[in-house]
Each structure stands twice: as C-alpha cells, then as structure tokens.
Amino acid sequence: MSIYYQRADLSINPITPLRLQALAQLSLAPEQAGFVESVDECLAEAQQDKRYVPAALSIDSQVIGFAMYGLFDEDYGPRVWFDRYFIGAQFQGQGYGRAFASLMLDYLYDFYQCDNIYLSVYSHNHGAIKLYQSLGFELNGELDCNGEQVMVTKRGALDNGAASINTTSY
C-alpha cells in the first residue's frame, strides 16, 4: 500500500526507504527540541512494539512531517493514540501542522472506527496544546507513564461550528 490516507495533495504514507531518507532531512525548530522523539527513536520503538504505526506526511510526493499512532489496550479499555507528530521546521508556519493533524484525525476515526482519540503533551509545550485544542482536544486530567498530560477528542467535537478546519488553504 503506497498511501494510507489522502485528501487533496496531503497524504499519510507508509515508511519506505526513500521516505526514510527524506525524513532524515527534516528537523524540529530549536524550541521544540525534547518534545518529540527523533524519527529513528520512533522507528526503533515501532520495531519493538508492533502496535505502533509510523507514517510519513507528504504534500504531493514531498515528505514534510512524521506521525506515529496505534491502538492500545489499557486499563480503561482500548484507546487509539495519535502518539507522535511533527512537521519539519522548514515547513512550519504555513498551516501544515493543523492541516495534517486534521487529516490524521479523519484517518484514525475512519481506520479504527473509534469515537475518541488520545494524545499526550508536555504541559510547557504551549504551541502544541493550542493546536490540539483548536482541533477539539481537551485535557482529561490523566498523566501518561512519562508524566505528560493526556488530551482526548471525540468524534464530531468540532461539528458544533465552534471551530473550522480549512485544509485546502495552508
């Protein structure tokens, strides 16, 4: 399968050797260092834990970001996690972060047929928290095993018109 999910020119793709080379060229903005693991660390974790699915995020065929997600059985029951996510520093500030996060949510809802999606975020990662809140995520009061705050969004959280997502204009 060459594409997991696509909307217009945005696509979520499996990792291939060519995409891996492109991912290696991406970097985080200096102020984002420490908030997300490197692609190599994520891929190593996905090798060890097959519940993780790594993906390259592309515009047309140009890789501009990375995501990792999965379905995990937990004490609370099964949860879909939008676990790792970043857009390369050179592509930030153009609306791609929001556009791809929205695309990821649509994909995860469709693929897993779930009603809730979870993620975790450091409390001092204000930019990410703001982005996730704009997509309907709310803090649920939990902390993950690394001490990060857990956020959850429900299918249709933005259907009330409180916020809109424009993925055709970056």
| Half-sphere exposure for 47 (CA within 13 Å, toward CB) | 7
Q: Could you tell me which residues come within 8 angstroms of residue 64 by beta carbon, excluding any fewer than 6 positions away?
A: 26, 57, 58, 87, 88, 91, 96
What would the two tokens of residue 7 be?
A: 């909307």
Q: Which residues are catalytic?
A: 132
CB 87 within 8 A of CB 96: yes
Q: Please, which residues bridge with residue 3 across strands?
A: none
